[in-house]
Amino acid sequence: VTRSEIQSGVLQALADVAPEASAETLRSDVPFRDQVDLDSFDFLNFMIGLHTRLGVEVPESDYSKLSTLDSAVAYIEAKLGR
Amino acid sequence: MIEFRMPSLGADMDAGTLVQWTKRPGETVKRGDIIAVVDTDKGAIEIEVYDDGVIERTVVEPGQKVPVGTVLAVIREAAGASTVPEPVALPAPSSAARARPVSPPVVRPAPSAGAKRISPAARKAAEDLHVDLTGVEGTGPGGSVTRPDVERAAARGRGPAATAPAGDHRSAMRSAIAAAMSRSKREIPHLYLSTTVDMSQLLAWLAVENEKRSVTARLLPIAALLKAVARAATEVPDVNGFWAEGGFRAGPGVHVGCAIALRDGGLVAPALHDVALKDLDALMRDLRDLIARTRAGTLRSSELADSTITVTNLGDLGVESAFGIIYPPQVALVAFGRVVQRPWVVDGRVEPRPLMTATISADHRAVDGRRAALFLDAVNRWLQQPEAL
């Protein structure tokens, strides 16, 4: 899995829960929650989307490591052992 | 013969537009079947039938807007079927011991294989935007076609000039909320109580539980909050039900209206049915489904008419406490705030603890402060024993 595939998987999983999130306007170094309206149920569904699309299982204790697009991609890259 | 009437889908609705019949004259229907789609201020709603029988004839045509209570169709009763009274009719209040038949659980048929599922809102949007639904790919629950799918298809087909008719719906919803809330503040003498809940037991239990679970099966605090409300409402039934015709009528079961914000603004509080009877896994599953369908515009009539108490959770927005306005004819609304780390005295020592403010707004005509206080105390007590939820 390439970095850009991971990135597009993350963006798709985000768009599934927040259709207004657009890849063009989303800033990769700013927390998702500051740019997109995500409640705790949306965030859990986002984590489930990452599991479905990319096969990563994110433990609850690691949620804070996926707060931005950049950090989420880096976390998943490491997790997939690239 | 049974007259199937335009249902009231909440205190704020006085008319609805028939969008389509999903069953035809001559077809057999069972209680809980979706018979029609009606457009309301809350979007297009799937209307369930209350009786078993055969549709004799339809009276109202698609496109017609009619007042609540108008006969939409005539249904011939199934032989030997007992008729369950429609919930719209509110019986006169009497003693607290009045027993009302509990509605049997509504069994919903699974969508037939191969048939494309299209949400009523999507169907309406397709009609408005002149989009052919056969070419639209569904991205909603179970691959169903949702309103955004249709809007995207319309935008692709007609270029950037195509606009969605969402503005109309939003302003209609605003008016509906305004009407219901104005009526509430005009008619209901609200009383307000609040308490502070130590959330450390619940959060610690959830962390351990979620550690063992795959991400797809994790629990959120909201599931426990809803269950605690339902448990407490079972113990103190005074807060669970309706004020109608000058008296209180207890709810048939605990159907919790969950305030769900729509992504493009607006608010709907559809009912999560029989919360007291469901475990936390079932509540997670059903709440997820309810949120998805609320946002996709595929709610069912029973979900808009059945709530016996409402819960709102503003904690995710950083708000510490909220005192809500009761949704008539209900008699109580429970609000939860954000969980904050604060000093708390435990066994004579100050400790940092995750604390949450829980409040209740109650209709003083139906409930006294003492009973509302007992209820709120019961919510707190249940949250201290999460494994028992």
HEC assignment per residue over B170-224: HHHHHHHHHHHHHHHHHHCCEEEEEEEEECHHHHHHHHHHHHCCCHHHCCCHHHH
What are the phi and psi torsion angles at B48 (to 5°)?
A: -95, 150
Distance CA(B178)–CA(B181), nearest Å, equals: 5
Q: How far apart are CA B31 and CA B34, in angstroms?
A: 9
Q: Does a cis peptide bond (omega within 30 degrees of 0) precede residue B109?
A: no
The nearest alpha carbon in chain A to B313 belongs to A39
- For chain B, the average pLDDT equals 84
Mean pLDDT of B338-348: 96
Does residue A29 sit at the B interface (CB-CB below 8 Å)? no
DSSP string of B29-63, one letter each residue:
E-TT-EEEEEEETTEEEEEEPSS-EEEEEE-S-TT
State the Cα–Cα distance between residues B139 and B145, nearest whole angstrom.
6
pLDDT on residue B155: 55
Interface contact flag, A48 B215, Cβ < 8 Å: yes
Going by their DSSP bridges, the two strands B2-5 and B71-77 should be labelled as antiparallel
Helix (H), strand (E) at residue B334: strand B332-336
Name the nearest CA neighbour of B202 among B183, B228, B184.
B228
Mark residue B214 as left, alpha or beta (left: phi above 0; alpha: psi -120 to 50; beta: remaining): beta
Instruction: For B202-221, write each residue's pLDDT tens digit.
Output: 999 999 999 999 999 999 99
Rounded CA-CA distance B360/B20 in Å is 40
ipTM above 0.90, yes or no: yes
Q: Which residue of B has its CA nearest to A34?
A: B317
The whole-number average pLDDT for the span B51-75 is 91
Question: Where does the pLDDT of residue B103 fall: very low under 50, low under 70, confident under 90, or very high at 90 and above?
Answer: very low
CA dist B288 and B282 (Å) reads: 10
Could B210 and A37 be called an inter-chain contact, meaning their C-beta atoms sit closer than 8 Å?
no
Closest alpha carbon within chain A to B148:
A19
Asked if the Cβ–Cβ distance from A48 to B216 is below 8 Å, we say: yes
Residue B216: which of A18, A51, A61 has the nearest Cβ? A51
- CA B73 to CA B60: how far, in whole Å? 7
Among B144, B199, B215, most A C-beta atoms within 10 A, so best to mutate, is: B215
Question: Which pLDDT band holds residue B153 (cuts at 50, 70, 90)?
Answer: low
Give dist(CA B159, CA A32) in Å, integer.
Answer: 30
Rounded to whole angstroms, the Cα distance separating B380 from A19 reads: 36
**Sign, CA torsion B303/B230/B179/B244:** positive
**Per-residue pLDDT reduced to its tens digit, A10-60:** 999 999 999 888 888 899 999 998 999 899 999 999 999 999 999 999 999
B238 CB contacts (<8 Å, ≥6 apart)? B248, B331, B366, B367, B371, B372, B375
DSSP state of B308: S
Chain-centroid distance, C-alpha B173: 15
CA distance B316 to chain A (A): 6
Please say whether the beta carbons of B269 and B176 come within 8 A: no
Query: What is residue B299's DSSP assignment?
Result: -
- For residue B43, give the nearest of B311, B382, B296, B383 by alpha carbon: B296
Q: Tell me the C-alpha distance between B69 and B49, whole Å.
A: 14
Of A40, A47, A61, the CB nearest to B215: A47
Interfacial residues of B (vs A; Cβ cutoff 8 Å):
139, 148, 207, 210-211, 214-216, 218, 220-222, 261, 263-264, 287-288, 291, 316-317
Place of tokens 């269950």: B227
pLDDT for the residue B206: 97
So what's the pLDDT on residue B80?
56
**Poorest-pLDDT segment among A23-32, B146-155, B341-350:** B146-155
Mutation choice for B interface testing from A33, A53, A60 by most B CBs within 10 A: A60
Q: Is the dihedral of CA B18, B23, B28, B31 positive or negative?
A: negative
Distance in angstroms between the alpha carbons of the first and the last residue of chain A: 8
Q: What is the pTM of this model?
A: 0.75
Searching chain B, which residue's CA lies closest to the CA of residue A16?
A: B139
d(CA B89, CA B329): 13
Question: Residue B197 and residue B200: Cα distance in Å, rounded?
Answer: 9
More confident: B86 or B181: B181
* Rg, chain A, Cα only: 11
Q: Are B325 and B295 in contact (CB under 8 A)?
A: no
Q: Given pLDDT bands bounded at 50, 70 and 90, which one contains residue B112?
A: very low
Are the CB atoms for B184 and B326 separated by under 8 Å? yes
CB contact under 8 A, B215 and A57: yes
Q: Among B30-39, B151-160, B166-175, B189-198, whose mean pLDDT is lowest?
A: B151-160
Of A37, A58, A59, the CB nearest to B263: A37
Q: Is A24 on the interface with B (CB under 8 A)?
A: no
Instruction: Output the pLDDT for position B96.
Output: 34
Query: What residue of B is the nearest CA neighbor of A40?
Result: B316
Listed in sequence order, the residues at least 6 apart from B2 whose beta carbon sits closer than 8 Å to its beta carbon are B51, B53, B74, B75, B76, B77, B83
Kindly tell me if the per-residue pLDDT of B309 is higher than 90: yes
Q: CA angle B109-B112-B115, nearest 5°? A: 140
- Number of A to B CB contacts under 8 A, please give it: 41
